[in-house]
Chain A
């Protein structure tokens, strides 16, 4: 069976709103949220190959969470869902952050080896620490704001590896349950920021398609807890 191909219209105004959806950690909960507002996402759950889906008057474009701000800033998607961690790392992307969707809760933390003082030791003796992270800009900004010096080492894969083999004294990473840290003999030292899934909007779409955007925002707004 060939997957359904959907031509995403370039045209803005008039066509369906385009919503960028993150694959990866936020995928399931995002589809759950879409189900709750009455979209039938069954077809998306079963189809891992198609990138674009048409559902009830919305065009859903699926992508890596870190690509969402790029598409939304350029207007290739009118709206998008991604983690606050991504928005913090890409703080210079001009997108409107319009709704906290509440799910996908996790924390950006500074972690070091359990029971090891080396984070403090390197800082005390060398005046700086070596920090491995996938979020170099968040890390640099955090150490700058707290008045400390750090050599920030960007890695792409498992960050937990870096302190184990001595590449870094600590890591700045996203933690949901803390299990991965624990399994790798690491512990949280400082909390940098809290993150949840956010709805972002292109600034032109937010103005020119105001009624449609506001309607979707109100439907997606989580019940007050």
Chain B
């Protein structure tokens, strides 16, 4: 007899669980080797507390009232609970602090689509270490993690979350137009972006070209020169931040798998500075992401720069399988 489970959830059976467990163990080994201690936080939190960390838009979380009438939420990522944990349990601790996690997170889905409500997330948070050193350490751990699970072809896209906020301020674009442009950039809808940019009153041809050409710049160190040619203080500052990070990545031998990407804008509101997306050529979906969130922990009362990444374990597992298939076809 079949008893249903909610759409977007699933049972994991022994064969898959064995491989997922191995994947988790491999990742945790890498995290520990770099000095990241594992923490676990409750699946349920007070909604009010999680809200402190949510920026523009925020992610749809499942919310409900408990028996006392308090509004609770299922965590929709691991970073905000860890920011909460750092501020309350490590209020006096000497930075930098290094934490890692493996756990389930939950997001509201559209019922029509085969999206998941529950997914396994594994990652690290480096608290109290500023850019560029902190960013580079996080990317180094990420690169080592991908190698350890056999995804040697995986690529790290590195962008800057402040670039467009600062550029739009410099160009004098604010209010609703600013929000719409940031939305189009986050969707990477270049046709819609052009439409919005053409609506801006008083934008000169140069500003227009900068806004339309920047999102297409992605590749090696040369894209920073291409960006600088477009000019402007905001672009220059972002290029300097990325250059400083990139130079350190070259020193640590991680730069080879990093793609600089000025079109990267993640839709999580709390990112500041560096943002990261993870791709594998065998899979059409991103494997995870991360970046800097220098203001997030301050929102919980202990201002400290921070950065981290999170990997979607199920997608990592899928990418491993696809890579094995590619390797077999090549043989």
Q: How far is the CA of A140 from the CA of B286 in the complex (A)?
A: 30
Q: Mark A1-26, 1 if CB is under 8 A from B, else 0.
A: 00000000011110000000000000
Confirm or deny: B329 has a beta carbon within 8 angstroms of a beta carbon on chain A: yes
- Known contacts A11-B326, A11-B329, A13-B153, A96 near B189 by CB under 8 Å: yes
Interface centre among B153, B188, B329 (most CB of A within 10 A): B188
> Are B259 and A214 interface neighbours, CB within 8 A?
no
Confirm or deny: B110 has a beta carbon within 8 angstroms of a beta carbon on chain A: yes
- CB-CB under 8 A from A214, the residues of chain B are 216
> Are B219 and A210 interface neighbours, CB within 8 A?
yes
Please, which residue of chain B has its CB at the minimum distance from the CB of A201?
B188
Q: Mark A188-225, 1 if CB is under 8 A from B, else 0.
A: 00000000001000111111101100100000000000
Q: How large is the interface on A (under 10, 10 to 19, 20 to 34, 35 or more residues)?
A: 20 to 34
> Are A204 and B283 interface neighbours, CB within 8 A?
yes
CB-contact partner of A203 in B113, B155, B282, B286, under 8 A: B286
Confirm or deny: A97 has a beta carbon within 8 angstroms of a beta carbon on chain B: yes
Nearest CB in chain B: distance from A41 CB, A: 24
Within 8 A of B (CB), among A78-99: 92, 96-99
Confirm or deny: A73 has a beta carbon within 8 angstroms of a beta carbon on chain B: yes
- CB-CB under 8 A from B280, the residues of chain A are 204
Q: How far is the CA of A207 from the CA of B289 in the complex (A)?
A: 14
- Known contacts A92-B110, A97-B192, A207-B261, A12 near B282 by CB under 8 Å: yes
Q: How far is the CA of A97 from the CA of B261 in the complex (A)?
A: 17
Please, which residue of chain B has its CB at the minimum distance from the CB of A74?
B284
- Main secondary structure, interface of B, reads mixed
Q: Mark B311-331, 1 if CB is under 8 A from A, else 0.
A: 000000000001001100100
- CB-CB under 8 A from B194, the residues of chain A are 100
Please, which residue of chain A has its CB at the minimum distance from the CB of B154?
A208
Q: How far is the CA of A76 from the CA of B284 in the complex (A)?
A: 7
- Known contacts A97-B191, A97-B192, A99-B191, A75 near B283 by CB under 8 Å: yes
- Known contacts A205-B284, A207-B259, A208-B155, A10 near B110 by CB under 8 Å: no
> Are B281 and A73 interface neighbours, CB within 8 A?
no
Confirm or deny: B190 has a beta carbon within 8 angstroms of a beta carbon on chain A: yes
Q: How far is the CA of A73 from the CA of B187 in the complex (A)?
A: 13
Q: How far is the CA of A98 from the CA of B185 in the complex (A)?
A: 11
Q: How far is the CA of A10 from the CA of B330 in the complex (A)?
A: 12
Interface centre among A75, A99, A204 (most CB of B within 10 A): A204
> Are A75 and B284 interface neighbours, CB within 8 A?
yes
> Are B281 and A13 interface neighbours, CB within 8 A?
yes
Q: How far is the CA of A105 from the CA of B187 in the complex (A)?
A: 23
Q: Mark B183-201, 1 if CB is under 8 A from A, else 0.
A: 0000111111010000000
- CB-CB under 8 A from B84, the residues of chain A are none
Nearest CB in chain B: distance from A40 CB, A: 28
Within 8 A of B (CB), among A138-165: none
Question: Can you give 10 A-B contacts (C-beta < 8 A)?
Answer: A10-B322, A74-B285, A97-B188, A98-B190, A99-B191, A204-B279, A204-B285, A207-B155, A207-B218, A208-B279
Residues of A within 8 A of B (CB): 10-13, 73-76, 92, 96-100, 198, 202-208, 210-211, 214
- Assuming A97-B190, A203-B284, what are 13 further A-B pairs, CB within 8 angstroms? A11-B326, A11-B329, A74-B284, A75-B284, A75-B285, A92-B113, A96-B190, A97-B187, A99-B190, A100-B194, A207-B261, A211-B219, A214-B216
